[in-house]
Amino acid sequence: MVIGQRGRGFSSAVFGPAARALVRWKVPPDVVTVAGTVATAAVAFGLLARGHLVAGPLLLGLVLLTDSIDGLMARELHRNSAWGAFLDSTMDRFGDASIYSAIAIVALGIPGTLGTWTFGFALAIVPLALIVSYARARAEGLGLSASVGIAERTDRLIISLLGCLLLGLGLPEWVLTLALGWVAVASLITVVQRMAAVYRQVQGHGA
């Protein structure tokens, strides 16, 4: 399941007009990138971490839906620069860490063994999500490709936030545990898949 790959055309169609409007208003894409990260952290810690498990996930979903606007603006301006790509990737890591840290705080409120597992999964996702992204970036820095994997960033965030939302709507706490467990395991598998892809390419070049 790679939701992120399927959602790019949708984002372009829906948010293209907003991106063009911001370009007309002379708003720099970098400002939109940083503002999105600030909004993500504010909602994660201001709502989600404080137990607002309906408003928090829904608002985070809305913010994340607009994540492509800065890229659409850059293409509109013909400024697909290395700096823009670097800034966007770096800000995404801040956003991811904020969301999963907030979910870990939520997990602390779940009692017993289930809470321990939920907290452990949330905590494990923080470094795993960073490693998934680093593996791809490092491979591309070496002139290789590592865009494979069963769990892209969008996949991980949708499943995690959906688990929080379902808990907020009254479903049992194990629903969040299951969602985070899937994300943690899928992230680990994705790391292995990307390492294997790079290894095959290196071996092929060596041959």
Full residue range of the structural domain in which residue 86 is found: 3-206
Torsion, Cα of 62, 51, 93, 20 (10° steps): 20
Give the per-residue pLDDT at 184: 97
H helix intervals, the chain: 3-24, 29-46, 55-65, 69-76, 82-107, 112-141, 153-168, 174-206
Averaged over 188-197, what is the pLDDT? 96
70, 92, 96, 155: which one is catalytic? 92
Give the model confidence (pLDDT) of 173-188 as tens digits: 999 999 999 999 999 9
Please tell me the predicted confidence (pLDDT) of residue 207: 44
d(CA 190, CA 166): 25
Work out the mean pLDDT of the chain and round it to a whole number. 90
Q: Is 70 designated active site?
A: no
Q: Report d(CA 149, CA 74) in Å as an integer.
A: 27
- CA 179/CA 23 separation, integer angstroms: 38
CATH number at residue 35: 1.20.120.1760
Number of domains within the chain:
1
pLDDT in tens, 27-78: 888 999 999 999 999 999 999 999 999 999 999 999 988 888 888 888 888 7
